[in-house]
Amino acid sequence: DMNHNEQFMGALSECEAAAKQRGHALGAWHAVDERLHASLCKVCGRMAWLMCSGDEKLWRIGGSAPGQACLRDDFLEEDRRSG
């Protein structure tokens, strides 16, 4: 259904923008199943997900990547200390 696909793509764009705004670099998206897709930040490993539950037609975004800052600075600091 085209409306379902359009809604999915809109949620995907919203999720990626929110994650990027918080410093994340999301990797490839993986379909866990037809109603759940997930991606991990390539730097800190925080997850972003898109979910369409039950009879809902709307995709929802979630996970720690869209809502929390990337831990990039923590990783860079560890690299400096161990280098």
pLDDT digits (tens, 9 = 90+) for 19-68: 999 999 999 999 999 999 999 999 999 999 999 977 777 899 999 999 99
pLDDT score at 73: 66
Give 14's pLDDT tier (boundaries 50, 70, 90): very high
Find the angle CA(63)-CA(50)-CA(2) to the nearest 5 degrees.
165
pLDDT score at 71: 87
Q: Which residue has the higher pLDDT, 37 or 71?
A: 37
DSSP 18: H
* pTM, 2 dp: 0.80
